[in-house]
Amino acid sequence: MEKDAKAYLTLSPAAMQVLEKQASPRKRGEFVSGLLVQYGAVDSGIDAVDIEGMKLQIMGLAGANKSLESRVLKLEQQLAAVIANR
């Protein structure tokens, strides 16, 4: 069984007001511990998901870019043909 570690924190008045509303003096450590554990779990999970999501978005954007490039090239060729026929 792990022992609890003692930590002394300096909190802003606003943070202290939130802490006082959310937990009794004897439960504040447990409340802050839970917040930090949740923050760590969300933070590590978001990074992995965001990187994969960004990779997929970049691949999609690259495909869309190639499609648009080919459409612009086709329009340029058609415009050149119209100008040449004048």
Domain boundaries, the chain: 13-84
pTM for this entry = 0.46
Place of tokens 């960004």: 54
pLDDT tens digits for 5-16?
A: 888 889 888 888
Q: What is the pLDDT of residues 66-80, one digit of tens each?
A: 889 999 999 999 999
- For residue 16, CA distances in Å to 3, 8, 62, 65, 66 come to 25, 13, 48, 51, 54
Q: What is the pLDDT of residue 63?
A: 86
